[in-house]
Amino acid sequence: MTTLIPMISQKEITQKVKEIGRQISLDYENKELILIGILKGSFVFLADLTRVITLDHQVDLVGVSSYSGTSTTGIIKFTKEPDLELKGKDILIVEDIVDTGRTLSALLNFFKTYEPGSMKVCTLIDKSERRETPVDVDYACFHLNKGFIVGYGLDYDQKYRNLPAIFDLKL
C-alpha cells in the first residue's frame, strides 16, 4: 500500500518561497537576472518563485536527464537547451532537490560554457547531509535528510507532481 505522509504544508511553502523571493529581489538589484528552471521537477516552484520576485527578470527552462552509475562526476544529457542568451547575464539555477549533488555539479559545468556574468543556485529542497559531490547552494527553502518526497512538482514515476504540498512517500 502506498502512503503519503505530510512533510511540508502548502502554507509553509508559500511563506518560505515569498521569503526567498524577497531575498533574491534584494540581491539582484541592478543585475540582469535570468531564472533557469530545471525540468521537470522545478516547474511548480519556478512558477511561484517568479511571481514573488519584484525585479524585472527573464525565465528560461532546460531539460536534463541523468545517467547514473557511469561516472562519479555524473553524466547528463540535455533534452532541452536554454533559449536565451546567457553570456554576461546573472543566472540563477532553480532546482527541485539537490541530493548527492551530482546533477547540479554537471549542470554548473555545463552553464559555465555559456560564460554567464554570475551563476548561483536556488533549490526548493536541500538534502545537504547526503552530498557526495561538493556544490554550493545559495538559496534553499527547506533542508531534509531522509525520505523520498513527492508533491509540489516532485514525482514518483511521473505521478504526484500536482499535490499542492510536500509528502513523504512510503511504498
Give how far the C-alpha of residue 144 lies from the chain's centroid of Cα atoms, to the nearest Å.
Answer: 14
Q: From the candidates 48, 99, 126, 157, give the one annotated as an active-site residue.
A: 99
Active-site residue 99, yes or no? yes
For residue 14, the surrounding DSSP H or E stretch is helix 10-27
User: Quick one: which segment of 53-61, 83-91, 123-131, 147-155 binds Mg ion (CB under 5 A)?
Assistant: 147-155
Answer for which of 41, 116, 151, 153 binds Mg ion (CB under 5 A) is: 41
Nearest-angstrom CA–CA distance, 141 and 103:
19
User: Quick one: which segment of 11-19, 30-38, 55-63, 124-132 binds Mg ion (CB under 5 A)?
Assistant: 30-38
Which distant-in-sequence residues (6+ apart) come within 8 Å of 117 by Cβ?
31, 32, 88, 89, 90
Give how far the C-alpha of residue 162 lies from the chain's centroid of Cα atoms, to the nearest Å.
Answer: 17
Which of ligand 5GP, Mg ion, none has residue 49 at its interface (CB below 5 to 8 Å by kind)? none
Residue 150 binding ligand 5GP, by CB under 6 A: yes
Q: In what order do the strands lie in the sheet with 3-8?
A: 3-8, 166-170, 149-150
Answer for which of 36, 96, 120, 140 binds ligand 5GP (CB under 6 A) is: 96
Q: Which is nearer to ligand 5GP, 21 or 151 (CB)?
A: 151
Nearest-angstrom CA–CA distance, 114 and 91:
10
Grid-cell match 542568451, residue found? 85
Instruction: For the CB of residue 147, give the shortest distance to ligand 5GP in the complex, in Å.
Output: 6
Which of Mg ion, ligand 5GP, none has residue 89 at its interface (CB below 5 to 8 Å by kind)? none
| Residues carrying an active site annotation | 99
Binding-site ranges for ligand 5GP (CB under 6 A): 41, 95-104, 148-150, 154-156
